[in-house]
Amino acid sequence: MTDYSGLIEGVGSALVSILGLTKTFNFVKEGELGIKLRFGRARRDSNGEPQIIPPGFVMMIPWVDHLEKHHVRQQTIRFDNQRIMIRDGLIFNVNAAVIFRVNDIYRALFEIEDLNTSIADLSMGILRDVFTGRDHSNLNQTKKISALLLEELKEKAEQWGVDFLQFNIIDCAPTPETAQIIIAKAGVMMKAEALEEMARKRGIRLEELNPTLAAVLVGVPLVASTTQEPARGEKKTRAAAASASDDSDE
């Protein structure tokens, strides 16, 4: 009977060696930075700061060391078709984008859970807070609003290890229902201003204007109320009914 125990041991040793060799070498890609963990703790330098590993090959102790990586390239998070109710109760569709870059991968990896989701949630909250405090008359100041959004985001995420580069309003447009309301309000305002100008030229106060005349000037349709004469046949019928009533009383 052939003894394969030696062959099996040899193959097993070879596999373990190959596996250990693959775990001995790791690498950090271009555009990434890494941190080596030994027994789950970040390796630190003599100053107690985490050792940041640049792109290239990294020597590891198998089953002891672990490499965590995070890219440091510029990233963009978009917020498309966000329906936001502003201060005067109107609803606008807002498109925005946050552009950022990680500058401290230790904080990004170990101090903030799911960095991108956290940034998206925080940015969306700031976006809604800023817009709900405004009315539709100044929403066209997109550069000013974008600067305010970026300032708020930097302040609230100061300790996140992230450089926030831009928080831009890409588009801000009213919903179809809101657009109709705005157009109607603008029409009323224009007519009111015209009425006020006419009163000023005539040297009278608005309170002194005839209400009917004022309504016509601002475009309010008047409804004429008329009393229609009864038809001839209807008159005879009513007269006959009245006569019958008198006879019955007698």
Architecture of the domain whose range is 75-174: 2-Layer Sandwich (3.30)
User: In percent, how much of the chain has pLDDT > 90?
Assistant: 42
What is the per-residue pLDDT across 90-105, written as a single tens digit (0 to 9) for each?
A: 999 999 999 999 999 9
3-state helix, strand, coil in the chain (%, to 5): 45, 25, 30
Mean pLDDT, the chain, whole residue set: 80
Q: What does the pLDDT average to over 167-172?
A: 94
- The region that residue 187 occupies, defined by phi over 0 for left and psi between -120 and 50 for alpha, beta otherwise, is alpha
Residue 237, pLDDT score: 45
- pLDDT computed for residue 248 by the predictor: 45
Distance CA 92, CA 86 (A): 7
Question: Which region among 134-138, 150-154, 202-206, 225-229 has the lowest average model confidence (pLDDT)?
Answer: 225-229
Q: Could you give the residue ranges of the DSSP H alpha helices within 101-231?
A: 105-110, 115-132, 142-156, 176-201, 211-217
pLDDT at 64: 87
pLDDT tens digits for 42-71? 999 888 899 999 999 888 888 888 899 988
Residue 57 confidence (pLDDT): 87
* Interaxial angle between packed helices 115-132 and 142-156, expressed in degrees from 0 to 180 and rounded to the nearest 10: 130
Summarised one tens digit per residue, pLDDT across range 171-218 is 999 999 888 887 777 776 776 777 677 777 777 776 666 666 666 655
Q: What is the pLDDT of residue 203?
A: 73
Round to the nearest angstrom and report the end-to-end CA distance of the chain. 142
CA angle 174-180-181, nearest 5°? 90
What pTM was estimated for this model as a whole?
0.67
**Amino acid present at 25:** F
Q: What pLDDT, on the 0 to 100 scale, is given for residue 144? A: 94
pLDDT in tens, 232-243: 545 444 554 455
pLDDT 10s digits, 71-90: 899 999 999 999 999 988 89
Domain ranges of the chain: 21-70, 75-174, 178-217
